Every structure is written in C-alpha cells, then in structure tokens.
A and B are shown apart, each in its own frame.
Chain A
C-alpha cells in the first residue's frame, strides 16, 4: 500500500531564508506525487506534481520538489520564503489505477517570521 510521511509537523523560517519541507513516500511502483498548499480557512491548491517525467519539478510561487527514488523522498523547497507562504503543506501520493485515490500526509505547518 502507498503512504507518505511528512517528517516535520511544524517548520518555522525567517522571511528571505530557504524553505525545506520533507516528505518520504512508500510505494511498490513508480508513484505520482503531489504537494498541495492550504492557506488558513481555504481549500487546497496544487503546488506541483511528479508523474515520472523530470525528477526536478517546478511549481507555482517559486516552489520546487525533487523526486529521489533511491531515498524515496519528495522534499519541497523554495530559495527565499515570503510572508504569504505561511500555510499548511500536504505531501500526497496517488494510487495507481482508474480511481486515482489520494493518500495524504499529515501536513507540515509553515510559519514565516518577519
């Protein structure tokens, strides 16, 4: 069965410093992986997705993630944090097959200090 583990429940950075949100996955086949962001009291927005093409995936708002099969990781990074990046971030793996059920991690809450 597929699963994702987000290694940090809370991350705090200063504005202008790099962001690293860590995610490890477990899958018996080459997975589809996603990062979604949820701002307070809002719905989920897709940041980026990996679907077995390029291993370095660029998303919206300057975020990117690198798929590393040898480490079973899909960490999310951004070179310079902005106050508007404060939100909850979910790493998600998709089940193979027509139903495309999503398996969510427990989330990482990113705080950005001025």
Chain B
C-alpha cells in the first residue's frame, strides 16, 4: 500500500514556465488537499477536493489550478511560475465522514528562478 505519492520530488522552473505537480493516493479516499510550506512556516491550504469532479479554493489559491477527474489523482497546475511560488508542496488525503486524519505525501520541492 503506497499511500500518497507525489512526483516529481524536486523541480527548478524559470519564471513564466508552467508545470503540473502530480498526486496520487491508493486508499480510495474522497478528500484530497494541496498545501504549500514556506521556510519556517506551517502549511497553508491551496486547494482541496471532496470527491471526483468537485474542487474548491483554500487559503492561498492564486496562481494555481486543480482538477479531480478520478478519485485517485489530484494534480496541481502552475500556469505562469513566479519566484513567490518557490516552496515545498504537500498533497494529502483522508477518508470520508468521520475519518479526520489526513495522510501526507513526501512533498515536491519547487524552485522558481
């Protein structure tokens, strides 16, 4: 059971480039989340999804887009990378109602130069 997996582990982008961060979970969880972690800070929620086809904004959604076409996958898209998006990105998932523990992936470290 792999849990939550994220690819790539590391990436360097130039300003204005685009990329997609991949997140996959094999626990059949309905809920999925994207967070970013800046140095010395806790995690901040970017977007979340309560099931396939349903997504909503979190605390810091600007500059990002998401989609949820399947239960397993929840990719995060950066369209025009900016230095302010340099961060570590974590994907998480949890089961349905009553299951309040989120399980985190290993993270993607992104640098925008």
Contacts and interface: CB of A to CB of B under 8 A. Distances in A.
Interface in A12-46: 32, 34, 36, 42-46
Interface in B45-82: 45, 48, 50, 56, 58
Given A43-B104, A94-B100, A99 B40 contact: no
Given A101-B45, A106-B42, 13 more contacts: A36-B104, A43-B90, A43-B106, A43-B107, A46-B103, A92-B42, A99-B50, A100-B100, A100-B102, A104-B43, A104-B44, A105-B42, A106-B40
Given A42-B106, A100-B31, A32 B42 contact: no
A94 B100 CA distance: 8
23 contacts: A32-B100, A36-B104, A43-B90, A43-B104, A44-B104, A46-B103, A49-B100, A90-B43, A92-B42, A94-B100, A99-B31, A99-B48, A100-B31, A101-B33, A101-B45, A102-B43, A102-B45, A104-B42, A106-B40, A106-B41, A106-B42, A107-B40, A107-B41
- Category for how many chain B residues contact A: 20 to 34
B102 A90 contact: no
Contacts, number: 52
Given A43-B105, A44-B90, A94-B100, A107 B42 contact: yes
Contact of B48 (A90, A101, A106): A101
